[in-house]
Amino acid sequence: MAAHMNIQTHDRLLIIDFGSQVTQLIARRLRELNVYCEIHPYQNVTMDFVHKMAPKAVIFSGGPDSVVREGSPRPPQEIFDYGVPILGICYGQQVMMQQLGGKVEGGKISGGGGTAEFGRAYVKPRGEKLAVLDGWFQNDDDHEQVWMSHGDHVSKLAPGFEVYGTSPNAPYAITADVSRNFYAVQFHPEVHHTPNGAKLYENFVRAAGFSGDWTMGAYREEAIRKIREQVGDKQVICGLSGGVDSSVAAVLIHEAIGDQLTCVFVDHGLLRMNEADEVVSMFRDNYNIPLIHADESELFLGELDGVSDPETKRKIIGRLFIDVFQKHANAIEGAEFLAQGTLYPDVIESVSFSGGPSVTIKSHHNVGGLPEKMGLKLVEPLRELFKDEVRALGRELGLPDSFIGRHPFPGPGLAIRCPGEITRQKLEILRKADAVYIDQIRKHGLYNEIWQAFVAILPVRTVGVMGDGRTYDFACALRAVTSVDGMTADYYPYSHEFLGETATRIINEVEGINRVTYDITSKPPGTIEWE
Ligand code: XMP
Protein backbone atom coordinates (compact mmCIF):
# COMPACT_ATOMS: atom_id res chain seq x y z
CA MET A 1 0.00 0.00 0.00
CA ALA A 2 1.39 3.38 -0.95
CA ALA A 3 1.87 5.69 1.97
CA HIS A 4 0.26 8.62 0.19
CA MET A 5 -3.18 7.06 0.36
CA ASN A 6 -3.25 7.80 4.08
CA ILE A 7 -2.13 11.35 3.92
CA GLN A 8 -5.06 13.62 3.48
CA THR A 9 -4.31 16.90 5.09
CA HIS A 10 -0.90 18.06 3.84
CA ASP A 11 0.07 19.78 0.66
CA ARG A 12 1.91 17.08 -1.24
CA LEU A 13 4.79 17.12 -3.67
CA LEU A 14 5.59 14.20 -5.94
CA ILE A 15 9.21 13.40 -6.79
CA ILE A 16 9.43 11.11 -9.79
CA ASP A 17 12.62 9.10 -9.45
CA PHE A 18 14.60 8.34 -12.57
CA GLY A 19 17.32 6.62 -10.60
CA SER A 20 19.71 9.38 -9.55
CA GLN A 21 22.08 8.61 -6.68
CA VAL A 22 20.95 11.78 -4.96
CA THR A 23 17.15 11.69 -5.26
CA GLN A 24 16.81 11.29 -1.51
CA LEU A 25 18.57 14.59 -1.06
CA ILE A 26 15.79 16.35 -2.97
CA ALA A 27 13.37 14.98 -0.40
CA ARG A 28 15.65 16.13 2.41
CA ARG A 29 15.78 19.69 1.08
CA LEU A 30 11.99 19.78 0.77
CA ARG A 31 11.32 18.33 4.20
CA GLU A 32 13.60 21.00 5.63
CA LEU A 33 11.17 23.49 4.12
CA ASN A 34 8.26 21.77 5.90
CA VAL A 35 7.00 20.42 2.61
CA TYR A 36 5.62 16.90 2.54
CA CYS A 37 6.95 14.94 -0.42
CA GLU A 38 7.18 11.36 -1.59
CA ILE A 39 9.64 9.73 -3.96
CA HIS A 40 8.16 7.25 -6.42
CA PRO A 41 10.02 5.33 -9.13
CA TYR A 42 8.89 6.47 -12.56
CA GLN A 43 7.44 3.05 -13.43
CA ASN A 44 4.83 3.41 -10.70
CA VAL A 45 3.71 6.87 -11.70
CA THR A 46 0.63 6.55 -13.89
CA MET A 47 -1.86 9.39 -14.30
CA ASP A 48 -4.24 7.40 -12.16
CA PHE A 49 -1.63 7.44 -9.43
CA VAL A 50 -1.08 11.17 -9.89
CA HIS A 51 -4.80 11.91 -9.60
CA LYS A 52 -5.02 9.87 -6.40
CA MET A 53 -2.00 11.51 -4.83
CA ALA A 54 -3.06 14.95 -6.05
CA PRO A 55 0.35 16.63 -5.70
CA LYS A 56 0.60 20.38 -5.72
CA ALA A 57 3.87 20.22 -7.64
CA VAL A 58 6.10 17.63 -9.28
CA ILE A 59 9.88 17.24 -9.44
CA PHE A 60 11.66 15.02 -11.95
CA SER A 61 14.89 13.67 -10.48
CA GLY A 62 18.13 13.09 -12.31
CA GLY A 63 19.02 9.65 -13.57
CA PRO A 64 21.77 7.56 -15.13
CA ASP A 65 20.02 6.77 -18.43
CA SER A 66 20.12 8.74 -21.67
CA VAL A 67 16.88 10.21 -23.02
CA VAL A 68 18.13 9.64 -26.56
CA ARG A 69 18.13 5.92 -25.91
CA GLU A 70 14.95 4.26 -27.07
CA GLY A 71 12.97 2.89 -24.16
CA SER A 72 14.62 5.16 -21.60
CA PRO A 73 12.49 6.28 -18.62
CA ARG A 74 9.67 8.82 -19.10
CA PRO A 75 6.93 10.28 -16.96
CA PRO A 76 3.41 10.04 -18.41
CA GLN A 77 3.03 12.64 -21.18
CA GLU A 78 -0.25 13.89 -19.66
CA ILE A 79 1.53 15.06 -16.55
CA PHE A 80 2.43 18.22 -18.46
CA ASP A 81 -1.30 18.98 -18.77
CA TYR A 82 -2.02 18.26 -15.12
CA GLY A 83 -1.66 21.95 -14.36
CA VAL A 84 0.87 21.98 -11.50
CA PRO A 85 4.40 23.42 -11.43
CA ILE A 86 7.14 21.03 -12.52
CA LEU A 87 10.86 21.19 -11.81
CA GLY A 88 13.19 18.98 -13.85
CA ILE A 89 16.70 18.22 -12.62
CA CYS A 90 19.43 17.05 -15.03
CA TYR A 91 17.92 13.91 -16.64
CA GLY A 92 14.59 15.43 -15.56
CA GLN A 93 15.37 18.55 -17.59
CA GLN A 94 16.22 16.50 -20.64
CA VAL A 95 13.03 14.47 -20.33
CA MET A 96 11.02 17.69 -20.18
CA MET A 97 12.68 19.12 -23.27
CA GLN A 98 12.31 15.91 -25.22
CA GLN A 99 8.66 15.44 -24.31
CA LEU A 100 7.70 19.05 -24.83
CA GLY A 101 9.19 19.40 -28.30
CA GLY A 102 12.83 20.35 -27.72
CA LYS A 103 15.89 18.30 -28.50
CA VAL A 104 18.57 16.43 -26.54
CA GLU A 105 21.87 15.18 -27.87
CA GLY A 106 24.07 12.46 -26.55
CA GLY A 107 27.30 13.79 -25.05
CA LYS A 108 30.73 12.60 -25.95
CA ILE A 109 31.92 11.59 -22.55
CA SER A 110 35.39 10.74 -23.79
CA GLY A 111 37.16 11.96 -26.85
CA GLY A 112 37.11 15.66 -26.14
CA GLY A 113 34.97 18.36 -27.63
CA GLY A 114 31.83 16.99 -26.02
CA THR A 115 29.67 18.73 -23.52
CA ALA A 116 29.64 16.10 -20.86
CA GLU A 117 30.33 17.77 -17.55
CA PHE A 118 31.08 16.30 -14.17
CA GLY A 119 31.74 18.28 -11.06
CA ARG A 120 31.88 21.92 -10.11
CA ALA A 121 30.72 24.55 -12.59
CA TYR A 122 29.70 28.18 -12.45
CA VAL A 123 26.40 29.47 -13.74
CA LYS A 124 25.86 33.07 -14.86
CA PRO A 125 22.52 34.80 -15.23
CA ARG A 126 20.95 35.42 -18.60
CA GLY A 127 17.87 37.29 -19.65
CA GLU A 128 15.29 38.54 -17.21
CA LYS A 129 15.32 37.85 -13.51
CA LEU A 130 13.56 34.62 -12.71
CA ALA A 131 11.49 34.56 -9.50
CA VAL A 132 12.61 31.04 -8.58
CA LEU A 133 16.18 32.34 -8.63
CA ASP A 134 15.52 34.99 -5.98
CA GLY A 135 18.56 35.10 -3.73
CA TRP A 136 20.82 33.91 -6.53
CA PHE A 137 22.37 36.40 -8.93
CA GLN A 138 22.57 39.94 -7.58
CA ASN A 139 23.93 41.39 -10.82
CA ASP A 140 24.99 40.26 -14.29
CA ASP A 141 28.59 39.62 -13.26
CA ASP A 142 27.55 37.25 -10.55
CA HIS A 143 28.05 33.59 -10.78
CA GLU A 144 26.84 30.72 -8.65
CA GLN A 145 28.65 27.50 -8.01
CA VAL A 146 26.63 24.45 -9.06
CA TRP A 147 27.24 20.72 -9.34
CA MET A 148 26.94 19.18 -12.79
CA SER A 149 26.88 15.51 -13.62
CA HIS A 150 25.64 14.85 -17.13
CA GLY A 151 26.70 13.16 -20.33
CA ASP A 152 23.87 14.35 -22.57
CA HIS A 153 22.75 17.92 -23.06
CA VAL A 154 19.78 19.88 -24.32
CA SER A 155 20.49 21.18 -27.81
CA LYS A 156 17.15 22.85 -28.53
CA LEU A 157 14.70 24.29 -26.06
CA ALA A 158 11.07 23.21 -26.08
CA PRO A 159 8.63 25.89 -27.27
CA GLY A 160 7.74 28.37 -24.55
CA PHE A 161 11.05 27.91 -22.66
CA GLU A 162 13.65 30.63 -22.17
CA VAL A 163 17.21 30.49 -20.87
CA TYR A 164 17.89 32.14 -17.50
CA GLY A 165 21.35 30.84 -16.71
CA THR A 166 24.33 29.42 -18.58
CA SER A 167 27.61 27.77 -17.71
CA PRO A 168 30.59 27.39 -20.04
CA ASN A 169 29.55 23.84 -20.94
CA ALA A 170 25.81 24.08 -20.41
CA PRO A 171 24.20 26.86 -22.46
CA TYR A 172 20.85 25.73 -21.05
CA ALA A 173 21.88 25.42 -17.42
CA ILE A 174 18.70 27.13 -16.17
CA THR A 175 15.58 27.22 -18.31
CA ALA A 176 11.92 27.89 -17.65
CA ASP A 177 8.52 28.29 -19.18
CA VAL A 178 7.26 30.82 -16.68
CA SER A 179 3.70 30.89 -18.01
CA ARG A 180 3.26 27.20 -17.18
CA ASN A 181 5.49 27.23 -14.09
CA PHE A 182 7.84 24.67 -15.64
CA TYR A 183 11.48 24.92 -14.54
CA ALA A 184 14.34 22.80 -15.77
CA VAL A 185 17.97 22.88 -14.68
CA GLN A 186 20.96 20.95 -15.90
CA PHE A 187 22.72 20.82 -12.52
CA HIS A 188 21.83 19.29 -9.16
CA PRO A 189 20.54 21.95 -6.73
CA GLU A 190 19.98 19.32 -4.01
CA VAL A 191 23.65 18.54 -3.36
CA HIS A 192 26.00 20.20 -0.98
CA HIS A 193 28.21 21.39 -3.83
CA THR A 194 25.47 23.65 -5.10
CA PRO A 195 25.69 25.90 -2.05
CA ASN A 196 22.66 28.02 -2.90
CA GLY A 197 20.57 25.12 -4.16
CA ALA A 198 18.18 25.02 -1.20
CA LYS A 199 17.06 28.51 -2.13
CA LEU A 200 15.94 27.31 -5.53
CA TYR A 201 13.77 24.62 -3.94
CA GLU A 202 12.40 27.13 -1.48
CA ASN A 203 11.41 29.53 -4.24
CA PHE A 204 9.96 26.71 -6.30
CA VAL A 205 7.67 25.43 -3.56
CA ARG A 206 6.68 28.96 -2.68
CA ALA A 207 5.75 29.60 -6.32
CA ALA A 208 3.75 26.38 -6.22
CA GLY A 209 1.80 27.67 -3.23
CA PHE A 210 3.01 25.33 -0.49
CA SER A 211 2.22 26.60 2.99
CA GLY A 212 4.96 24.63 4.78
CA ASP A 213 2.45 22.65 6.84
CA TRP A 214 4.64 19.60 7.40
CA THR A 215 5.45 20.06 11.10
CA MET A 216 6.18 17.45 13.72
CA GLY A 217 3.22 18.53 15.85
CA ALA A 218 0.90 17.95 12.90
CA TYR A 219 2.64 14.70 12.06
CA ARG A 220 2.25 13.40 15.59
CA GLU A 221 -1.50 14.02 15.67
CA GLU A 222 -2.03 12.52 12.27
CA ALA A 223 0.10 9.48 13.08
CA ILE A 224 -1.88 8.86 16.26
CA ARG A 225 -5.15 9.06 14.39
CA LYS A 226 -3.89 6.64 11.76
CA ILE A 227 -2.59 4.12 14.33
CA ARG A 228 -5.99 4.13 16.08
CA GLU A 229 -7.75 3.65 12.78
CA GLN A 230 -5.50 0.79 11.72
CA VAL A 231 -5.38 -1.08 15.00
CA GLY A 232 -8.89 -0.64 16.39
CA ASP A 233 -9.14 -2.54 19.67
CA LYS A 234 -6.52 -5.15 18.80
CA GLN A 235 -3.22 -5.86 20.58
CA VAL A 236 0.13 -4.69 19.21
CA ILE A 237 3.62 -6.05 19.93
CA CYS A 238 6.71 -3.91 19.52
CA GLY A 239 10.30 -5.11 19.64
CA LEU A 240 12.32 -2.58 21.62
CA SER A 241 16.05 -2.49 21.00
CA GLY A 242 16.86 0.58 23.04
CA GLY A 243 17.63 2.41 19.82
CA VAL A 244 15.99 5.66 18.82
CA ASP A 245 13.71 4.33 16.07
CA SER A 246 11.99 1.54 17.97
CA SER A 247 11.75 3.75 21.07
CA VAL A 248 10.05 6.60 19.24
CA ALA A 249 7.70 4.14 17.53
CA ALA A 250 6.82 2.59 20.89
CA VAL A 251 6.12 5.89 22.63
CA LEU A 252 4.03 7.13 19.73
CA ILE A 253 1.97 3.94 19.55
CA HIS A 254 1.55 3.93 23.32
CA GLU A 255 0.20 7.46 23.11
CA ALA A 256 -2.28 6.28 20.48
CA ILE A 257 -3.54 3.03 22.01
CA GLY A 258 -2.19 2.85 25.58
CA ASP A 259 -2.13 -0.64 27.08
CA GLN A 260 -3.02 -2.34 23.83
CA LEU A 261 0.73 -2.09 23.19
CA THR A 262 3.19 -4.52 24.77
CA CYS A 263 6.90 -4.12 24.17
CA VAL A 264 9.30 -7.01 24.03
CA PHE A 265 12.89 -6.17 24.85
CA VAL A 266 15.23 -9.00 23.92
CA ASP A 267 18.36 -8.71 26.03
CA HIS A 268 20.99 -10.78 24.26
CA GLY A 269 23.67 -10.10 26.84
CA LEU A 270 25.60 -8.01 24.32
CA LEU A 271 24.45 -4.59 25.48
CA ARG A 272 26.55 -1.80 26.90
CA MET A 273 26.99 -1.02 30.57
CA ASN A 274 23.64 -0.41 32.34
CA GLU A 275 21.85 -0.33 29.01
CA ALA A 276 19.25 -2.97 29.80
CA ASP A 277 18.32 -1.30 33.11
CA GLU A 278 18.03 2.07 31.42
CA VAL A 279 15.70 0.78 28.75
CA VAL A 280 13.53 -1.07 31.24
CA SER A 281 13.25 1.85 33.62
CA MET A 282 12.59 4.35 30.87
CA PHE A 283 9.76 2.40 29.27
CA ARG A 284 8.27 0.49 32.17
CA ASP A 285 8.64 3.05 34.95
CA ASN A 286 8.67 6.32 33.09
CA TYR A 287 6.21 5.69 30.31
CA ASN A 288 4.24 2.90 31.99
CA ILE A 289 4.39 0.81 28.85
CA PRO A 290 3.78 -2.91 29.45
CA LEU A 291 7.22 -4.40 28.83
CA ILE A 292 8.55 -7.92 28.70
CA HIS A 293 12.25 -7.92 29.53
CA ALA A 294 13.44 -11.14 27.94
CA ASP A 295 16.82 -11.78 29.54
CA GLU A 296 18.18 -14.37 27.14
CA SER A 297 21.88 -13.71 27.61
CA GLU A 298 22.58 -17.30 28.66
CA LEU A 299 21.10 -18.59 25.43
CA PHE A 300 22.91 -16.13 23.16
CA LEU A 301 26.29 -16.30 24.84
CA GLY A 302 26.01 -20.08 25.01
CA GLU A 303 25.44 -20.42 21.27
CA LEU A 304 28.17 -17.92 20.51
CA ASP A 305 30.68 -19.80 22.60
CA GLY A 306 33.78 -20.56 20.55
CA VAL A 307 32.49 -18.76 17.46
CA SER A 308 34.86 -16.24 15.92
CA ASP A 309 33.72 -15.85 12.32
CA PRO A 310 31.89 -12.49 11.97
CA GLU A 311 29.16 -13.70 9.61
CA THR A 312 28.50 -16.78 11.72
CA LYS A 313 28.12 -14.57 14.77
CA ARG A 314 25.64 -12.36 12.94
CA LYS A 315 23.64 -15.31 11.65
CA ILE A 316 23.42 -16.92 15.09
CA ILE A 317 22.28 -13.71 16.71
CA GLY A 318 19.73 -12.99 13.97
CA ARG A 319 18.25 -16.49 14.18
CA LEU A 320 18.08 -16.57 17.99
CA PHE A 321 16.58 -13.12 18.06
CA ILE A 322 13.70 -14.21 15.89
CA ASP A 323 13.12 -17.41 17.90
CA VAL A 324 13.18 -15.60 21.20
CA PHE A 325 11.05 -12.74 20.04
CA GLN A 326 8.50 -15.16 18.69
CA LYS A 327 8.40 -17.14 21.91
CA HIS A 328 7.69 -14.07 24.01
CA ALA A 329 5.31 -12.52 21.52
CA ASN A 330 3.26 -15.72 21.36
CA ALA A 331 2.60 -15.32 25.05
CA ILE A 332 0.77 -12.06 24.40
CA GLU A 333 -2.88 -12.88 24.11
CA GLY A 334 -4.61 -11.86 20.88
CA ALA A 335 -1.77 -9.91 19.28
CA GLU A 336 -2.54 -9.10 15.66
CA PHE A 337 -0.01 -6.39 14.88
CA LEU A 338 3.74 -6.03 15.01
CA ALA A 339 5.13 -2.51 15.29
CA GLN A 340 8.41 -1.68 13.57
CA GLY A 341 10.52 1.44 13.43
CA THR A 342 10.98 1.27 9.65
CA LEU A 343 12.21 4.59 8.25
CA TYR A 344 11.67 6.22 4.89
CA PRO A 345 15.15 5.43 3.53
CA ASP A 346 14.43 1.71 4.14
CA VAL A 347 11.19 2.05 2.24
CA ILE A 348 12.80 3.79 -0.72
CA GLU A 349 15.67 1.35 -0.81
CA SER A 350 13.31 -1.56 -0.97
CA VAL A 351 11.48 -0.18 -4.01
CA SER A 352 14.51 1.27 -5.75
CA PHE A 353 14.62 0.07 -9.34
CA SER A 354 18.30 0.71 -9.61
CA GLY A 355 18.80 -2.02 -7.06
CA GLY A 356 20.85 -2.13 -3.89
CA PRO A 357 24.46 -3.14 -3.52
CA SER A 358 24.98 -6.50 -5.12
CA VAL A 359 27.53 -7.77 -2.63
CA THR A 360 26.72 -8.55 0.96
CA ILE A 361 29.32 -6.75 3.01
CA LYS A 362 27.60 -7.66 6.25
CA SER A 363 24.32 -9.40 6.79
CA HIS A 364 22.39 -6.85 8.79
CA HIS A 365 20.46 -7.91 11.77
CA ASN A 366 16.75 -7.30 11.38
CA VAL A 367 13.44 -8.93 12.01
CA GLY A 368 12.45 -9.19 8.36
CA GLY A 369 10.25 -12.18 7.70
CA LEU A 370 8.90 -12.20 11.26
CA PRO A 371 5.46 -10.79 10.44
CA GLU A 372 4.73 -13.45 7.82
CA LYS A 373 6.05 -16.20 10.02
CA MET A 374 3.86 -15.10 12.91
CA GLY A 375 0.86 -14.08 10.82
CA LEU A 376 1.03 -10.51 12.09
CA LYS A 377 0.17 -7.28 10.31
CA LEU A 378 2.64 -4.43 10.42
CA VAL A 379 2.30 -1.06 12.10
CA GLU A 380 5.05 1.24 10.86
CA PRO A 381 4.33 4.77 12.04
CA LEU A 382 7.77 6.12 11.02
CA ARG A 383 7.65 4.93 7.42
CA GLU A 384 7.48 8.49 6.11
CA LEU A 385 10.32 9.91 8.19
CA PHE A 386 14.05 10.40 7.84
CA LYS A 387 16.34 9.72 10.79
CA ASP A 388 16.58 13.33 11.92
CA GLU A 389 12.81 13.67 11.63
CA VAL A 390 12.43 10.68 13.91
CA ARG A 391 14.62 12.48 16.41
CA ALA A 392 12.45 15.60 16.08
CA LEU A 393 9.34 13.49 16.65
CA GLY A 394 10.98 11.91 19.69
CA ARG A 395 11.57 15.37 21.13
CA GLU A 396 7.98 16.30 20.34
CA LEU A 397 6.92 13.22 22.33
CA GLY A 398 9.03 14.28 25.28
CA LEU A 399 11.82 11.70 25.07
CA PRO A 400 14.89 13.12 26.78
CA ASP A 401 17.52 14.72 24.55
CA SER A 402 20.23 12.52 26.01
CA PHE A 403 18.31 9.54 24.72
CA ILE A 404 17.36 10.90 21.32
CA GLY A 405 20.85 12.09 20.52
CA ARG A 406 22.40 8.71 21.24
CA HIS A 407 24.84 7.27 18.76
CA PRO A 408 23.54 4.35 16.67
CA PHE A 409 24.13 0.93 18.18
CA PRO A 410 24.12 -2.20 16.00
CA GLY A 411 21.60 -4.99 16.46
CA PRO A 412 24.28 -7.66 17.15
CA GLY A 413 25.63 -5.37 19.86
CA LEU A 414 29.02 -5.91 21.43
CA ALA A 415 29.45 -9.21 19.57
CA ILE A 416 30.78 -7.33 16.57
CA ARG A 417 33.06 -5.17 18.73
CA CYS A 418 34.77 -8.21 20.07
CA PRO A 419 36.68 -9.69 17.11
CA GLY A 420 37.51 -13.33 17.64
CA GLU A 421 35.85 -15.40 20.32
CA ILE A 422 33.39 -13.76 22.66
CA THR A 423 33.82 -14.46 26.34
CA ARG A 424 32.06 -13.00 29.34
CA GLN A 425 35.37 -11.73 30.60
CA LYS A 426 36.08 -9.86 27.37
CA LEU A 427 32.56 -8.42 27.34
CA GLU A 428 32.98 -7.17 30.90
CA ILE A 429 36.29 -5.48 30.05
CA LEU A 430 34.82 -4.03 26.87
CA ARG A 431 31.81 -2.58 28.71
CA LYS A 432 34.05 -0.82 31.23
CA ALA A 433 36.42 0.56 28.62
CA ASP A 434 33.54 1.76 26.49
CA ALA A 435 31.94 3.52 29.44
CA VAL A 436 35.17 5.37 30.26
CA TYR A 437 35.65 6.34 26.61
CA ILE A 438 32.11 7.68 26.22
CA ASP A 439 32.45 9.54 29.51
CA GLN A 440 35.60 11.20 28.17
CA ILE A 441 33.81 12.21 24.98
CA ARG A 442 30.91 13.71 26.90
CA LYS A 443 33.21 15.51 29.33
CA HIS A 444 35.03 17.12 26.45
CA GLY A 445 31.75 18.16 24.82
CA LEU A 446 32.40 16.08 21.70
CA TYR A 447 29.52 13.62 21.83
CA ASN A 448 27.23 15.46 19.43
CA GLU A 449 30.01 16.13 16.93
CA ILE A 450 30.58 12.43 16.49
CA TRP A 451 28.28 10.09 14.57
CA GLN A 452 29.36 7.02 16.46
CA ALA A 453 32.07 6.18 18.98
CA PHE A 454 32.91 2.93 20.70
CA VAL A 455 35.66 0.65 21.89
CA ALA A 456 36.55 -2.67 20.27
CA ILE A 457 38.44 -5.19 22.36
CA LEU A 458 41.13 -6.86 20.29
CA PRO A 459 41.87 -10.58 20.30
CA VAL A 460 45.49 -10.02 21.28
CA ARG A 461 47.27 -9.61 24.57
CA THR A 462 50.30 -7.42 24.79
CA VAL A 463 53.01 -6.87 27.34
CA GLY A 464 53.09 -3.80 29.50
CA VAL A 465 54.56 -2.50 32.70
CA MET A 466 52.53 -1.03 35.53
CA GLY A 467 54.21 0.00 38.73
CA ASP A 468 57.08 -2.40 38.95
CA GLY A 469 55.22 -5.30 37.49
CA ARG A 470 54.82 -6.85 34.10
CA THR A 471 51.30 -6.97 32.64
CA TYR A 472 50.00 -9.19 29.88
CA ASP A 473 46.56 -7.88 29.02
CA PHE A 474 44.23 -7.09 26.15
CA ALA A 475 44.72 -4.28 23.67
CA CYS A 476 41.72 -2.24 22.61
CA ALA A 477 40.95 0.12 19.77
CA LEU A 478 38.98 3.35 20.06
CA ARG A 479 36.73 4.21 17.14
CA ALA A 480 35.03 7.54 16.43
CA VAL A 481 33.62 8.59 13.09
CA THR A 482 31.78 11.46 11.52
CA SER A 483 29.12 10.59 8.96
CA VAL A 484 25.77 11.75 7.68
CA ASP A 485 24.15 8.41 7.04
CA GLY A 486 26.59 5.69 8.06
CA MET A 487 27.23 4.84 4.41
CA THR A 488 30.51 6.69 4.28
CA ALA A 489 32.49 7.91 7.25
CA ASP A 490 35.67 9.60 8.29
CA TYR A 491 37.59 9.13 11.50
CA TYR A 492 37.21 11.90 14.05
CA PRO A 493 40.31 14.12 14.40
CA TYR A 494 40.81 14.11 18.17
CA SER A 495 43.60 16.14 19.65
CA HIS A 496 46.60 14.19 20.92
CA GLU A 497 45.83 15.51 24.40
CA PHE A 498 42.40 13.94 24.30
CA LEU A 499 43.73 10.63 23.03
CA GLY A 500 46.52 10.56 25.60
CA GLU A 501 44.22 11.39 28.50
CA THR A 502 41.67 8.79 27.38
CA ALA A 503 44.28 6.06 26.98
CA THR A 504 45.62 6.78 30.45
CA ARG A 505 42.17 6.69 31.99
CA ILE A 506 41.22 3.41 30.31
CA ILE A 507 44.45 1.69 31.34
CA ASN A 508 44.19 2.96 34.90
CA GLU A 509 40.49 2.35 35.37
CA VAL A 510 39.88 -0.83 33.42
CA GLU A 511 41.52 -3.97 34.64
CA GLY A 512 42.42 -6.24 31.74
CA ILE A 513 43.52 -3.58 29.26
CA ASN A 514 47.09 -2.38 29.05
CA ARG A 515 47.25 -0.88 25.56
CA VAL A 516 45.01 1.56 23.71
CA THR A 517 45.10 2.32 19.99
CA TYR A 518 43.09 4.72 17.84
CA ASP A 519 41.55 3.49 14.59
CA ILE A 520 42.03 6.08 11.83
CA THR A 521 40.42 4.16 8.98
CA SER A 522 37.75 5.88 6.94
CA LYS A 523 34.78 4.13 5.33
CA PRO A 524 35.41 3.03 2.63
CA PRO A 525 37.80 1.23 2.68
CA GLY A 526 37.02 0.27 6.28
CA THR A 527 33.60 -0.20 7.79
CA ILE A 528 32.49 1.57 10.95
CA GLU A 529 32.20 -1.56 13.04
CA TRP A 530 35.11 -3.98 13.23
CA GLU A 531 33.04 -6.92 12.06
P1 XMP B 1 29.28 -0.57 9.07
O2 XMP B 1 30.07 -1.31 10.11
O3 XMP B 1 28.65 -1.50 8.06
O4 XMP B 1 28.08 0.09 9.84
O5 XMP B 1 30.06 0.53 8.43
C6 XMP B 1 27.25 1.12 9.37
C7 XMP B 1 26.26 1.45 10.45
O8 XMP B 1 25.36 0.35 10.65
C9 XMP B 1 25.47 -0.12 11.97
N10 XMP B 1 25.37 -1.57 11.90
C11 XMP B 1 24.27 -2.26 12.18
N12 XMP B 1 23.07 -1.85 12.61
N13 XMP B 1 22.31 -4.08 12.63
C14 XMP B 1 22.10 -2.77 12.85
O15 XMP B 1 21.00 -2.43 13.30
C16 XMP B 1 23.50 -4.56 12.19
O17 XMP B 1 23.65 -5.76 12.00
C18 XMP B 1 24.53 -3.60 11.96
N19 XMP B 1 25.79 -3.71 11.52
C20 XMP B 1 26.32 -2.44 11.50
C21 XMP B 1 26.78 0.36 12.49
O22 XMP B 1 26.80 0.45 13.91
C23 XMP B 1 26.89 1.71 11.80
O24 XMP B 1 26.11 2.68 12.47
pLDDT > 90 in the chain, percent? 73
Residue span(s) of the chain under CATH 3.40.50.880 come to 12-207
Indicate if ligand 1 lies below 6 Å from the C-beta of 20.
no
Q: What is the CATH number of domain 216-404?
A: 3.40.50.620
Taking the C-alpha atoms of residue 213 and residue 226, their distance in angstroms, rounded to an integer, is: 18
Residue pair 410/365 in contact (Cβ under 8 Å)? The answer is yes
- Would you report the helix, strand and coil content of the chain in percent, each value rounded to 5? 35, 25, 40
Longest dimension (CA), the chain: 87
Residue span(s) of the chain under CATH 3.30.300.10 come to 423-518
Q: What is the pLDDT of residues 292-303, one digit of tens each?
A: 999 999 999 999
For residues 10-34, give the mean pLDDT.
91
Rounded to whole angstroms, what are the CA distances from 424 to 176, 304, 421, 514?
Answer: 65, 11, 10, 18
CA of residue 529 to ligand 1 center, whole Å = 7
CA of residue 310 to ligand 1 center, whole Å = 13
For residues 344-365, give the mean pLDDT.
52
CATH topology of domain 12-207: Rossmann fold (3.40.50)
Q: Which residues pair with 156 in a beta bridge?
A: 103
Residue span(s) of the chain under CATH 3.40.50.620 come to 216-404
Strand, coil or helix: 114: coil
Nearest residue to 33 (alpha-carbon basis) of 217, 210, 293, 281? 210
Residue nearest ligand 1's atom 6 by CA: 486
Residue pair 423/459 in contact (Cβ under 8 Å)? The answer is no
What does the pLDDT read at residue 357? 31
CA of residue 32 to ligand 1 center, whole Å = 26
Indicate if ligand 1 lies below 6 Å from the C-beta of 364.
yes
Which range (229-238, 252-261, 383-392) has the least confidence?
383-392
Determine the length of the chain. 531
Q: Look up 37 and say whether it is catalytic.
A: no
The residue annotated as part of the active site, out of 38, 117, 190, 384, is: 190
Indicate if ligand 1 lies below 6 Å from the C-beta of 341.
no
The residue annotated as part of the active site, out of 10, 38, 90, 268, is: 90
Rounded to whole angstroms, what are the CA distances from 272 to 2, 320, 408, 429, 438?
Answer: 38, 19, 12, 11, 11
Q: What is the pLDDT of residues 49-98, one digit of tens each?
A: 999 999 999 999 999 899 999 999 999 999 999 999 999 999 999 999 99
Residue nearest ligand 1's atom 7 by CA: 486
Q: What is the pLDDT of residues 371-422, one digit of tens each?
A: 777 789 999 999 888 888 899 999 999 999 888 999 999 999 999 999 999 9
What does the pLDDT read at residue 11? 93
What does the pLDDT read at residue 348? 63
CATH topology of domain 423-518: GMP Synthetase; Chain A, domain 3 (3.30.300)
Q: What is the pLDDT of residues 96-142, one digit of tens each?
A: 999 999 999 987 543 333 467 778 899 999 999 999 999 999 888 89
Residue pair 264/242 in contact (Cβ under 8 Å)? The answer is no
Query: Ligand 1 test: best mutation among 343, 362, 366, 417, most atoms within 8 Å of CB?
Result: 362
pTM of the prediction? 0.75
Q: Look up 188 and say whether it is catalytic.
A: yes
CA of residue 23 to ligand 1 center, whole Å = 23
Check whether 161 has a pLDDT greater than 90.
Answer: yes
CA of residue 364 to ligand 1 center, whole Å = 7
Query: What are phi and psi for residue 238, nearest 5 degrees?
Result: -130, 130
Confidence of residue 7 (pLDDT cuts 50, 70, 90): very low
Indicate if ligand 1 lies below 6 Å from the C-beta of 318.
no
H or E, element range at 469: strand 469-482
Query: Ligand 1 test: best mutation among 529, 530, 531, most atoms within 8 Å of CB?
Result: 529
H or E, element range at 255: helix 244-257
- DSSP code, position 407: P
CA of residue 412 to ligand 1 center, whole Å = 9
Q: Look up 90 and say whether it is catalytic.
A: yes
Residue nearest ligand 1's atom 21 by CA: 410
| Number of alpha carbons in the 13 Å side-chain half-sphere of residue 523 | 21
